[in-house]
Amino acid sequence: MDAKAKQKIQMQVGTLKNLPVLPEASLRILEAINTPDVSIDKLAAVLSLSPGLVARLLGLANSAYFARGKDVGDVRTAIFQVLGLDLVKALSMAIIFNIQFDTRKCQEFDSEHFWMRSLLTAVAAQKLAADAGQLRASAPSAVYASGLLLDIGIMVLAYLMPDDLNDIFLASKKNQLTVSEEIVRRLGQSHFQLGYLLLNKWQLPLLYQTVLQHYDDGQFSGPEQSLLMLLRICRRLSAVLVAGKAIDTLEFEHVCRQLDLPMARLNELVEQLSENKEAIQNLASIMRN
């Protein structure tokens, strides 16, 4: 890439600091989602401000992955009887971003693939955190949401810089680099940092901001260190699972030891995710619609 083209892209990345302001309805929904003691009735009422969000949540509640044998026709029932308050909060936050950012101009951006990766990362992180000695005190919903929002910076790029991200996807195939590596090579910073700019601007909980801000920092030693270690494992697992390749869990043995996570539990999870891959792919399809 010549200097002029690189300068152009750097200027475009700079404009990410001027991300759009969320609509009033979305702001009210995020406020409710991030209120620890919000009631089911209050959350259901606020979520109803976004018909698109409600449609997706009901689609998820009626999917094969969550189905309880009867149709779910309203948000309150979806929260109370199927998904649960914490899961609805995490999914709603992700769906708001999906609604806000129209990624269709980026031809190479596969929304279903994006959400498949994100959901697998989130599910894996939540399940493994329960058995990792270093993470048992973590709130399951916070772990899940951290995994779900991990790659949100790619969606931001697909919305604000569709042509450039399209070129990045194509180049990554030719260069045999991951999309993440090609983003860093082209833009000089990772999509995790871009995601952090978004979460910071929209004032999402500090935990999610910290996860994205320090995801690339292997020397980070703050309270979120263990969560970051787990998320790196789960993101790698999701990539391999989606690619349909065999997973060598031994590559994670050292990190599992640090997290006090039994290797047997990791192997068990890989089998579970492989068995549920089709159901999770159906969830991803609902998320993107």
Structural domain range at position 57: 22-100
Whether residue 279 sits in one domain with residue 147: yes
**Of 146, 141, 137, which is closest to residue 260 (Cα–Cα)?**
137
The letter for the amino acid at 164 is D
Cα angle at 176 between 170 and 182, to 5 degrees? 60
Give every residue of the chain whose pLDDT is below 50, as ranges.
Answer: none
* CB of 135 closer than 8 Å to CB of 172: no
Counting Cα atoms < 13 Å in the Cβ hemisphere of 253 gives: 3
What are the distances in angstroms from CA 97 to CA 24, 66, 113, 133?
A: 14, 22, 16, 32
Domain membership of residue 1 (yes or no) is: no
174 and 232, same domain (yes or no)? yes
- When divided into structural domains, the chain yields a total of 2
Residues 226 and 144 in one domain: yes
Kindly state whether residues 61 and 109 are assigned to the same domain.
no
Residues 196 and 120 occupy one common structural domain: yes
Give me the pLDDT at residue 9, please: 55
The CATH number given to whatever domain includes residue 288 is 1.10.3210.10
pLDDT at 5: 54
Exposed, middle or buried: residue 288 (CB in 10 Å: 0-12, 13-18, 19+)?
middle
Kindly report the number of other CB atoms within 10 A of residue 239's CB atom.
16
The per-residue pLDDT for 17 is 61
Instruction: Say how far apart CA 252 and CA 9 lie, in whole Å.
Output: 36
At 124 the pLDDT is: 96
Give the pLDDT score at 6: 55
Which of 100, 126, 158 marks a domain boundary?
Answer: 100
Regarding whether 184 and 96 lie in a shared domain, the answer is no
Domain boundary among 84, 100, 116: 100
pLDDT of residue 207: 94
Q: What pLDDT is attached to residue 272?
A: 93
What is the reported pLDDT for 289?
67
